[in-house]
A and B are shown apart, each in its own frame.
Chain A
Amino acid sequence: GAVVSQHPSRVICKSGTSVKIECRSLDFQATTMFWYRQFPKKSLMLMATSNEGSKATYEQGVEKDKFLINHASLTLSTLTVTSAHPEDSSFYICSARTSGRAGTQYFGPGTRLLVL
């Protein structure tokens, strides 16, 4: 089956620093990857759609200058949380989508970010 990895799985950083999270599709190529954030006791909130070779599409209310997304290859997308603040602490999950109408999203294991 399709496997998506995410690194790091957990990160603790100081307020004001930047954190990069990597999402890789290990056994398939993904032209489209997604970045989600999970708020406590809530479902997944789509932050942005990452398209290989082009700019990411951000959902309403998500600051693109704060959450930088780069999709440089068909197997790698990165999310950089710039100048992180405690309110950015959350669980971030990426997914990569297989192609075709029945293309489904395969999720990474998630990254737990804690900003002190």
Chain B
Amino acid sequence: ILNVEQSPQSLHVQEGDSTNFTCSFPSSNFYALHWYRWETAKSPEALFVMTLNGDEKKKGRISATLNTKEGYSYLYIKGSQPEDSATYLCAFTNTGNQFYFGTGTSLTVIP
């Protein structure tokens, strides 16, 4: 069984605060790391995919970094807004092209 772990499991922040969470994955057989945003009653939306160690991606106030050698990725949200409230999923892809999802970080932004 391949473990992809996300922490924290849930998070409450005040509107305007910046926050970040972690995705840990096996450092061997790495192929790609994906981040998804999953709002209640909707399907997951792809945010980023990163393939190289040191990759950084940014989309508006959300950014992500990747460290394949130590097996982690951070997702950052700057100036959180209520509409950022969602579950953020990461997924690790190995060289066998298999997807493994983490259990997600549930973010609630309090107005």
Verify that A and B bind, or say they do not.
Answer: yes
Write the residues of chain A forming the contact surface with B, with a CB cutoff of 8 angstroms: 34, 42-44, 46, 49, 93, 95, 97, 101-110
Contact yes or no, A43 B102, CB < 8 A: yes
Contact yes or no, B99 A105, CB < 8 A: yes
Contact yes or no, B104 A43, CB < 8 A: yes
Residues of B within 8 A of A105 (CB): 34, 36, 44, 46, 91, 99
Q: How far is the CA of A107 from the CA of B99 in the complex (A)?
A: 13
Q: How far is the CA of A110 from the CA of B49 in the complex (A)?
A: 22
Residues of B within 8 A of A34 (CB): 99
Give 14 A-B contacts (CB < 8 Å), ordered by A residue: A34-B99, A43-B101, A43-B103, A43-B104, A46-B99, A46-B101, A97-B99, A102-B49, A102-B51, A103-B49, A104-B49, A105-B44, A107-B45, A109-B42
Write the residues of chain B forming the contact surface with A, with a CB cutoff of 8 angstroms: 31-32, 34, 36, 42-46, 49, 51, 87, 89, 91, 98-99, 101-104
Contact yes or no, B99 A101, CB < 8 A: no
Contact yes or no, A101 B46, CB < 8 A: no
Residues of B within 8 A of A106 (CB): 46
Write the chain A residue with the least CB distance to B4.
Answer: A43
Contact yes or no, B43 A93, CB < 8 A: yes
Residues of A within 8 A of B31 (CB): 101
Write the chain A residue with the least CB distance to B103.
Answer: A43
CB of B37 to closest CB in A, whole Å = 11
Q: How far is the CA of A101 from the CA of B42 in the complex (A)?
A: 26
Q: How far is the CA of A104 from the CA of B101 in the complex (A)?
A: 12
Q: How far is the CA of A108 from the CA of B45 in the complex (A)?
A: 10
Residues of A within 8 A of B104 (CB): 43
Q: How far is the CA of A34 from the CA of B34 in the complex (A)?
A: 15
Residues of B within 8 A of A43 (CB): 87, 89, 101-104
Residues of B within 8 A of A97 (CB): 99
